[in-house]
Structure 1
């Protein structure tokens, strides 16, 4: 969710009227290791597609086959789509194998340690009244968990945050057609695929779920005279949500808030926690204000410390779960991120690093 939406949503929540738009995203994530780590679920090369954070296709260097991860993808996409996709993934696997070695030599790294090159690329759109509007495109590489290179879509050039990436930046910027292709993919081709996938998977993607909201408090670990007041919204889908922690109906400023950021539950829904420290003897009225696309009006849960430390929303419709564990896909990604933190690129068989 964009910063502007968060800030505007906080203002509206402070007034008791929260609003959110409907956003969608399509991203592809590639990860290449310099050697086999012999861990279950971790391969020398993996590629996956994510539509609104849901896995839609997958490839790894062991099976070497691009496969659908959603039933509607299997039903809607023809066999040649998967055959061409498999060949494309195999080409990318070879590209990454070559370029991991190039970067290791450039960084003066040897094969004793584990190294990883990653690429993340895709687009985000906003849908309103059947109209899809391009918001932004992302094309980023990382090496060993640090940002290595990213594409400036507006100015059609590569940004090198580290000296070791300058060679690659100059090389790629020197191929005008490469940058034109990258911009065109992010702004047009990616959006076209995203729109098509949204249409194919509309029943699944639009299976929206409203949040259940809790307010609870505990002693501050930092100061025994303080309480940590926490608001938690869980069980919601899609993931865009606006939450404010309020005192007498006025939102706390963001710099006083500790946020978990939106996190996945184990059932493809999401959760968000925000906390603020208050004086234990503060007699003010505190509440949580949450709005989501599934709600006709915001959920406002008041915290009454005289009666209960945990208050649950009563006006959340539908069945919402409060699962904390992430899905298997995100556990696998987390392992890779623990090894390094991800990102990467799509010019397979094209210009090398």
Structure 2
């Protein structure tokens, strides 16, 4: 999948074998040729993964009947200074079964690993200078060009973001004298949010609440919930507090509100 500021913009899987848009603006802006080329690129990468995870499993002496995962993440980050967009960071890294495997050091233009099984890969890739030159060039220039283009295309949506829809509700607890109180914010973008449950105008510490963490919605926005078990008669003392960069001031919903 392709991500722009934590929002999914395209997607590919081995069942459908098509690179498809996940946002209206990219569907409208990019021509069919872009999706055709992207589909061929993802198919090639899929074949590359099938070959290389087999090599890795043999190298690790792993059983072929077990499940193993090879992951690849690459991209770039930029900083905006006035009207100028500058390269800030390049990422090209691989993981195997959830552990770091090998990554590209853009400053030194070489591959780095602390895993013995990845040393043959490092030697092979570092012995092809043109590959490392291309990787560095892609991250610093081509990736940045694409990023600038996508930011421009998605300008209004990305800059304006979306506001959180906030709810405070209670449900019965297993203890008849108590309630489970939940504060929920949903539909917000970007993903950074401050959500807390307050009692008597004081924020409850995280270790006293149960949190889902920030989770993605189907439409590219995000949601978060925090819950706490309370005494029925104390419901009116609890409030839900949410702060987000798109809000002029925090949202406060009172537990005693009807």
* Aligned twin of 1:76: 29
1:172-208: CA deviations, max 9, x gaps? 4666665565455445433331221121233554563
Partners in 1 of 2:160 and 2:205 — Cα distance?
33
CA contact (8 A) 1:124 1:137 kept: yes
Question: Any residues of structure 2 matched to 1:1-353 within 5 Å, and which?
Answer: 48-61=1-14, 64-124=17-77, 132=85, 137-143=90-96, 145-151=97-103, 160=113, 162-169=115-122, 171-172=124-125, 178=131, 181-182=134-135, 184-205=137-158, 208-217=161-170, 228-276=180-228, 285-304=237-256
- Structure 2 SS opposite 1:301: strand
What residue ranges of structure 2 are gaps of 5+ in the alignment? none
Q: Which has the higher contact order (CA 8 A, sep 6+)?
A: 1
CA RMSD in angstroms comes to 4.0
Q: TM-score under structure 1 normalisation? A: 0.56
What residue ranges of structure 1 are gaps of 5+ in the alignment? 1-47, 309-353
Bigger mean CA offset, 187-196 vs 96-105? 187-196
* Aligned twin of 1:20: none
1:132-186: CA deviations, max 9, x gaps? 566655433233x422425375765655465433443455466666556545544
1:213–1:99 CA distance, 2 compared to 1 (3 A) = same
**Higher normalized helix content (fraction of residues):** 2
Partners in 2 of 1:283 and 1:65 — Cα distance?
51
Q: TM-score under structure 2 normalisation? A: 0.73
CA contact (8 A) 2:195 2:241 kept: yes
